[in-house]
Structure 1
Amino acid sequence: MSALALPPSAVRLTAGTFDRRRRRNRDYLVSLSERNLVQNHLIEAGIGDQLWHLKPSGSSAADRGLDRHWGWETPGSLLRGHFLGHWMSAAARETAATGDVMLRAKLDGVLDLLARCQEENGGEWVFATPPSFLRRLAEGRDVWAPQYAIHKTFMGLVDVYRDLGDERALRIAHRAAGAIAEWARGFEREKFQQILDMETGGMLEVWADLLEATGDDLYRELLELYWHGSLFDALLAGEDALTNMHANTTIPEVLGAARAYEVTGEERWKRVVEQYWEWAVTRRGTFCTGGQTSGEIWTPPFSFAARRGPKTQEHCSVYNMIRLADVLYRWGGDPAHLDYIEANLHNGLLAQQHPETGMVAYFLPLEGGARKNWGTPTEDFWCCHGSLVQAHTRIAPLAVYADDTTLTVAQYLPVRAEATASGQPVTVEVRLRDDASYVGPDANGGPGGELHRPQALRVQVTVSSAEGAAARVRLRIPEWTSSEPVVTTAASWQRDDRFLELVHPGGETAVDVEFPFVLRTVPIPDEPDTVAFVEGPIVLAGLVDREVCLEGDPAKPSTLLAADDERQWTQWLVRYRTVGRDAGIRFIPLNEVTDERYSVYFPVRPAVTP
């Protein structure tokens, strides 16, 4: 492998936008009670009456059930129980990264309840999904993706084991796998392949994780059973198996193929993953946001003009494609995968989380005059609600990678990482010089600084180790950089293609880098006179309630937009306004839009000369 992700405890976000969003997410995780999280598992185990013995006291709202989990988690919902797995995964990662004792205590309570459910069910079955749903699936009767929901419980248990070393979680998952194996073995191969055409979630990934954790050949057998021929064989044959197909049905399967390769070393799994990326991104393109999908399906290659609407860019797909890009970067070291992650962090994960409530927008609409539809704490529990709580616990490790001798700063987020290079401890700290969010009595202390907002991402990286403990440090040059980076450091450095390479001799090395940017337009490939406005990695949204045509030159954004409202206290703001219009439109980052109506894409026609 080209690079390794740092363990959760070795890398932490520091003060800034992403850490504020992580804290919002953590507060939400803590707010949910063990009773409500496990409600559907307890009901399926026949001990739903335990819910009332676990009822919190002192709340009339709780007494009337208003804090209970509804939406997709309503008892009787066909996907009931799916959210618990996401919550366990998120809580485990947050605890591993921060040592959060409250989340650890809640996790212990959840595991106690799941162990009780497993015993009540006879020692194996631990899911909120009834076994009859699997029978209905095999019979071709109406049912909604039971393996998808089952996978979530598996995923949560496995992640608790992987991130926290909790053997109890592994035992529960291992015992539960026996029930699924017995069911899967009961079909001829052709029949089971038909069953796999119904969404399986990340079952394949779980089998690979459990094979690595236990070494049990049961999981080798399950990996073979879950080879999804209609998808994998088509990809290996060089076919487009994705256009107009449900995206997040297949992305988790390919993430499973990636884990199967990492655990078994079998090249066929790797080829599946590489071909998937080829067809999903390289040969298909993305929206200006870096995301994809419309109505949860893959759009045709480079044909987006007719696919903008209220249901573009599903959050689950954004999150899982970030995971896939991370895998491929670790395997091959291609900075294009890091560029993809960057765009989707800013214009996906941030843009689809409400900055105040922490709730998710299932989709990111890209139609004219769109509005984000936010979820609620206990009344929706969409699939994307689950991927949201996981995503915001997993951002920090995307910022810094390591191998035996080299540390790579991959994303410019405020972060502190503890790693090793040549066997010696090394600390890397990344700061953003213009991410000042403090406002208070001394917020204007010090010099006023530049007259106008700097047209560059300004980063400071500090590397620390024992004297003589040398390391090589690489800094990614973003693909949007408009001219040569400006580097200020006493250390020796050079440019190597898309990276700045810095020699850290030991002690403390500081480097200040400016990555210049310009406001640019990004057209829709099949409608080149319709453009979005992007600065650095940030997509801008015009605050307008309909699609509006602008006049100017789409190749010269300065004929269309001008800087606006750029400064408050010590903070530079990303703000623009239209020029040459009777009624102006103001633009802000898409990831700052909450309840305003907005447009991202604007038709542009030549200005009329009087």
Structure 2
Amino acid sequence: MTVPSAHVPLGAVRLSPGLFENRRLLNTGYLGSLTVPNLLQNFYVEAGIGDQSWHLRVAEGPGPHDGRDRHWGWETPGGLLRGHFLGHWMSAAAREVATGANPALAPALDAVLAGLQRCQRENGGEWVFAIPPRFLERVAAGLPTWAPQYALHKTFMGLVDVYRDLGDRRALAIADAAAAWFDRWSEGFTPEQFADILDAETGGMLEVWADLLEITGDDRYRRLLDRYWRSRLFDPLLDGVDVLTNMHANTTIPEVLGAARAFEVTGDERWRRVVENYWRLAVIERGTFCTGGQTSGEIWTPPFEFAARRGEKTQEHCTVYNMIRLADVLFRWTGEIGYLDYIERNLYNGILAQQNPRTGMVAYFLPLEGGAHKHWGTPTDDFWCCHGTLVQAHSRHSGLIYYDQPDGAVVVAQLIASRLELEGFAVTVELRETAVRVGPDANAARAGSRHRPDSWGVVITTEATEARRLRVRIPEWVDGPAIAQVGDGRQEVAPGFLEIDVDAGTTVIELTLPSRLAVVPIPDEPSTVAFLDGPVVLAGLVDHEVALTGTLPERASELLVPDNERQWGEWLRGYRTRRQQRSIRFRPVYEITDEAFTMYFPIADAEGEQ
């Protein structure tokens, strides 16, 4: 049965100390370290604003110290995607301010908006971007130009998010004036000519037009929605035809997110069918790597054919982030729990795994070859596309934990340490005995825990002024029935939703989620497997692909035992191999920084036969 859901209000959720809050803090510290002049550097250059010292520094180029003073990489003046990062920064900063998590970013955000207003005035009142209109003329002429609409969309996106999250009408006015240019420009082409233009990566332009239509009601945006229907992708999807294999993934995911917003704003069912068929073809009938992610060299793999696609450029971060967004959309439409399980797998093994736990920087790809290394970006020298999605992703963890449903129920969608506060109702989620503190005394173990627990302990506390229904996701990775203890009552719960009607006052729900090592084979090479501990992929600390011996692939989890399990007040999640010629230690992939690692292992019998 379809049970639509909605996000809870911004500011109603705060992360509690723990893994996700630690990563958010790394990210928000980075947001605050970037200066307004550097964020606006390319917008000022395009508008003819700046001082001579800046132009001299550009001529010198980046050096050992210049990277700290200016932005380089994809943000280097003259770069074809210059200016793209500012939109991501605005979106992330607005969310941090709106949720109350980091109000200190508000002055910088205010200064950025003032700078963009000035650029728009200097450019004649409409154009506000860091690249020139000439780039779009080249696309229209069929000349090679690297994705100008992708770059332009980021500025639109940031402005729209600032307006939606903070209600700042300056941001809306800038976006609305800039959209007038696009309405005028796009009406000058035949449908076939514009179809050619749409084939040159438009990013999330369709989503922006839908957002602005909802905000303003202006028919200009309805016209733009119709023009940005990408017929060469959407028409086959409407017919259920798989056109994704070897297609650039993150060209299409933002377009489908735009289709989702178009459906939500217009109610036109053809947009919804595009979205639903895309998910079916991209995920259900294609499969994923063990991490939950996909793509090799930024393109979709053939359905369930992964063995030949493992390399140094698998799982692009942008695709992980945008597919999480798509799963969030589909859960809100349907209430189906599988989308939440998908989000969880990708949060741990994509969003967290591709953020450096020490520096907060991003890995563009998560390599799946044997003996891989994560290649980390730097604060000011790279500014890849994934650099932008990184700062957005870690500002939005709180938005994926709780949802409202029409019957008044609150969904606990992700088991992330946090607190929800609504009028008359509050929920606190606390994790226990899963690599977190286990008691007030950091040197004391919980009674009975001689070794690392083989279950996740979760405590959910509600405070209500009247009775309320709670739906708690019991993850698909739970091994056997979960145990829910409410007062003296105890019940077993299968994966799915635990439904509890909580009374007025305080209710404490203690969940025990049994977990075991799971083995996930490559579909087209089933003797090669990865290991998962709950939703978390384990990475072997080995600099090449090595076969493990002594059992069948489906029983390969028998080859791993807990390793270095205890540290002060924490249970650690490491493992090591046993009965192997060479011992290999395993750690959660999201903890890996600069070590060589391998995630897939061939399994051979005692004689070495695979």
Aligned to 1:58: none
Q: By how many angstroms is 1:325 displaced?
A: 0.2
- The answer on whether the counterparts of 1:289 and 1:347 sit within 8 Å (CA) in structure 2 is yes
Q: Cα deviation per residue 1:344-369 (whole Å; 9 max; x = unaligned)?
A: 00000000000010000000000000
Give 1:33's aligned residue. Answer: 35
- The question of whether the paired residues in 1 share the 8 Å contact of 2:95 and 2:165 is answered with yes
| Secondary structure in 2 matching 1:349 | helix
* Cα deviation, residue 276, structure 1: 0.4
Report how far residue 241 of structure 1 moved: 1.4
Asked if the contact 1:476–1:500 (Cα under 8 Å) also holds between the matched residues in 2, the reply is yes
| Match in the other structure for 1:394 | 396
CA distance in 2 between counterparts of 1:426 and 1:562 reads 43
**Residue 110 of structure 2: SS of its match in structure 1?**
helix
- 2: CA distance, partners of 1:99 / 1:481: 32
Within the candidate set 128, 132, 135, 1:133 is matched to: 135
Residues 495, 501 of structure 1: 8 Å contact kept: no
Write the mapping of 1:261-410 to structure 2, written as runs, cut at 5 A.
Answer: 261-404=263-406, 405-410=408-413
3-state SS of 2:315 partner: coil
Structure 1 residue 590 and structure 2 residue 589: aligned? yes
Q: Does 1:471 align with 2:464?
A: no
Distance (whole Å) between structure 2 residues aligned to residue 214 and residue 99 of structure 1: 29
Cα distance in 1, alignment partners of residues 372 and 102 from structure 2: 38
What CA distance in whole angstroms lies between the structure 2 residues aligned with 1:99 and 1:125?
33
Partner amino acid for 1:161?
A: Y
Alpha-carbon shift at residue 383 of structure 1 (Å): 0.1
Distance 1:177 1:372, change over 3 A: same
Quote how far apart the aligned CAs of 1:21 are.
Answer: 0.3
Q: 1:151 to 1:560 in 2, by over 3 A?
A: same
Partner of 1:198: 200
Q: Classify the secondary structure of the residue corresponding to 1:8.
A: coil
Work out whether residues 494 and 501 of structure 1, in 8 Å CA contact, stay in contact via their aligned partners in 2. no
Q: 1:16·1:435 contact (CA, 8 Å) conserved in 2?
A: no
The answer to whether the Cα contact below 8 Å between 2:481 and 2:495 also exists between their aligned partners in 1 is no
Distance 2:338 2:37 in 1: 44
Q: 1:490: how far off?
A: 2.5
What is the rounded CA distance, in whole Å, between the counterparts of 1:512 and 1:65 in structure 2?
Answer: 50
Work out the CA distance in 2 between the residues paired with 1:170 and 1:496. 47
| Cα distance in 1 for residues equivalent to 2:440 and 2:320 | 40
Partner of 2:536: 538
Equivalent residue number for residue 432 of structure 1 = 431
In structure 2, the CA distance between the partners of 1:173 and 1:529, relative to structure 1 (3 Å rule), is same
Post-superposition offset of 1:446: 6.5
Is the 8 Å Cα contact of residues 491 and 504 (structure 1) preserved in structure 2? no
The Cα shift of 1:558 comes to 4.3
Count of residue pairs the alignment pairs up:
597
Residues 338 and 441 of structure 1: is their aligned pair in 2 closer, same or farther, counting only changes over 3 Å?
Answer: closer
Task: Check 1:525–1:589 CA distance in 2 against 1; reply closer, same or farther (3 A cut).
Answer: same
Residue aligning to 2:416: 413
Aligned twin of 1:526: 524
Tell me how far 1:8 sits from its aligned partner.
Answer: 2.2
Q: Paired residue for 2:485, among 466, 485, 488?
A: 488
Stretch of structure 1 that moved more, 443-452 or 521-530: 443-452
Matches within 5 A, 1:443-522: 443-445=442-444, 447=446, 449-466=448-465, 469-490=466-487, 495=493, 498-522=496-520
- CA displacement at 1:447 relative to structure 2: 4.8
Shift in CA distance, 167/608, structure 1 to aligned 2, threshold 3 Å: same
- TM-score, length of structure 1 as denominator length: 0.95
Q: Cα offset for 1:180? A: 1.2
State the distance in 1 between where 2:585 and 2:341 align: 27
Contact 2:438 2:446 in 1 (8 A): no
Q: Which residue of 2 aligns with 1:572?
A: 571
Change in CA separation of 1:566 and 1:82 when aligned onto 2, cut-off 3 Å: same
Q: 1:491 to 1:280 in 2, by over 3 A?
A: farther
Structure 1 unaligned residues grouped into runs of 5+: 56-60
Q: 1 CA distance for matches of 2:522 and 2:102?
A: 44
Residue in 2 that maps onto 1:216 = 218
| Structure 1 residue 49: Cα displacement | 2.3
Name the amino acid aligned to 1:41: F
Q: CA deviation at 1:418?
A: 1.9
| Residues 519 and 557 in structure 1, CA contact (< 8 A), matched pair in contact too | no
Unmatched segments (≥5 aa) in structure 2:
58-62
Distance, in Å, in 1 between the alignment partners of 2:454 and 2:561 is 13
Give CA-to-partner distance per residue, 1:241-291, whole Å, 9 cap, x none.
111000000000000000111111111111110000000000000000000
Q: Report the Cα distance in structure 1 between the residues aligned to 2:187 and 2:48, rounded to whole angstroms.
A: 27
Partner of 2:60: none
Please report the TM-score for the alignment, with normalisation by the length of structure 2: 0.95
Q: Deviations over 1:153-178 (max 9, x none)?
A: 00000000000010010000000001
SS at match of 1:98: coil
Quote the offset at 1:572 in angstroms. 0.6
- The one-letter code sitting in structure 2 at the alignment partner of 1:464 is E
CA-CA distance at 1:570 after TM superposition = 1.4
Q: For residue 601 of structure 2, what is the aligned residue in structure 1?
A: 602
Aligned Cα RMSD in Å? Answer: 2.0
Tell me which amino acid in the other structure corresponds to 2:400. L
Give the conservation status (yes or no) of the 8 Å contact 2:459–2:511.
yes
Structure 1 residues 63, 496: CA separation in 2 closer, same or farther (over 3 Å shift)? closer
CA contact (8 A) 2:478 2:495 kept: no
The Cα shift of 1:64 comes to 5.3
2:258 corresponds, among 256, 259, 284, to 256
Give, in whole Å, the separation in 2 of the partners of 1:495 and 1:577.
31
Q: What letter corresponds to residue 476 of structure 2 in structure 1? A: E
CA offsets, 1:441-469, max 9 Å, x none?
Answer: 94114655411111111100011111xx1
Tell me the SS of whatever aligns to 2:479.
coil
Q: Deviations over 1:367-425 (max 9, x none)?
A: 000000000000000000000000000111111111241011111000111236xxxx2
For 1:99 and 1:415, locate their aligned partners in 2 and report how far apart those are by CA, in whole Å: 12
CA shift in 2, pair 1:64/1:450, >3 Å: closer
CA, structure 1 residues 520+447, in 2 after alignment: closer, same or farther (shift >3 Å)? closer
Check 1:23–1:332 CA distance in 2 against 1; reply closer, same or farther (3 A cut). same
Matched, 1:8 2:10: yes
Match of 1:227 among 207, 222, 229: 229
Structure 1 residue 188 corresponds to structure 2 residue 190: yes
* Contact 2:521–2:530, Cα closer than 8 Å, also in 1: yes
Q: 1:446 to 1:370 in 2, by over 3 A?
A: closer
